Amino acid sequence: MKFFVDTADVAEIKLLAASGLLDGVTTNPSLVAKSGRAMHDVIAEICAIVPGPVSAEVAATDYDGMLHEARILRAIAKNVTVKVPLTPDGLRACRHLTNDGAMVNVTLCFSAAQALLAAKAGASFVSPFVGRLDDIGESGMALIADIMTIFRQYPYLKTEVLVASVRHPMHVVEAAKLGAHVATVPPAILRQLFNHPLTDKGLAAFLADWAKAGLKIA
C-alpha cells in the first residue's frame, strides 16, 4: 500500500518525507486555505519536496472552468495530480485531462457506482471518503470492499483506490487488508501507525538492561 499524507502544511510534509515512508500528498481547498498561503506557492513547494503525485484540487464546478484551472495547476510541476469532483462535469473533465496525459484524482466518492464511473472516465485515482460514511452510520470499509471487488473483475481498469477521510489507524489496516492501493492520512494518523505500548515497554526494558550492564557499542 502507498501512503499519501493529507495536508498542505509544508513543514509537516518535509518531516514525513524525510522518513522515506511518503509516496505522495493530497490537498484540497480547505487545507490550502488553512495554510494561509497562495495555492500556487503551496503546491509548488510540496511538489519540490515529494516526487510522487501531489493532488491539487480545482475550485470550479463547470467543465470549462475545471479545464482552465487544470491547465494552471498542471503548469506548476510535472507531478501535479488534478483533483476534480465526482460530478458529470468532473468526470467529463477527467476524461479530457486523462486523454491529454494528466494524472487525475476523482474525489468525493461515496458509492461503488460512482467509483466505477470514475474508472470508466480514466481516473488515475478515485477517492472514497470512508470516515464521512462512518459518520452517517454507513460502513466506509464496506464501500472499499465493494470497489475492490468490482475493480478486480476488470483488469483493464487502471484506476487506483485512494482511501480518504481516514480517521484512525484501523482504517488504514482494514483498507490494506482489502487491497486498496493508497491511503491518504492526516499527519497525526500517520504517526499513530508507529505506536504500540509493547514496543515502548520493550524498548524501555532493553535500554534499562543495557545501562545496568554498563555496555557500550563504541
Q: Which of 83, 120, 158, 201 is catalytic?
A: 83
pLDDT of the residue at 218: 81
- pLDDT in 10s for each residue of the chain, 218 residues: 999 999 999 999 999 999 999 999 999 999 999 999 999 999 999 999 999 999 999 999 999 999 999 999 999 999 999 999 999 999 999 999 999 999 999 999 999 999 999 999 999 999 999 999 999 999 999 999 999 999 999 999 999 999 999 999 999 999 999 999 999 999 999 999 999 999 999 999 999 999 999 988 98
> What is the CATH number for 156?
3.20.20.70
Contact 42, 35 (CB under 8 A): yes
Handedness of CA 191, 194, 196, 198 (dihedral sign): negative
Give the chain's domain count.
1
Name the residue among 44, 43, 47 with its Cα closest to residue 57. 43
What are 21-74's pLDDT values in tens digits?
Answer: 999 999 999 999 999 999 999 999 999 999 999 999 999 999 999 999 999 999
**Domain that includes residue 188, residue range:** 2-212
Confirm whether 2 is a catalytic residue: no
Residue 146 lies in a domain: yes
Residue 218 lies in a domain: no
Name the residue among 28, 52, 21, 32 with its Cα closest to residue 191. 21
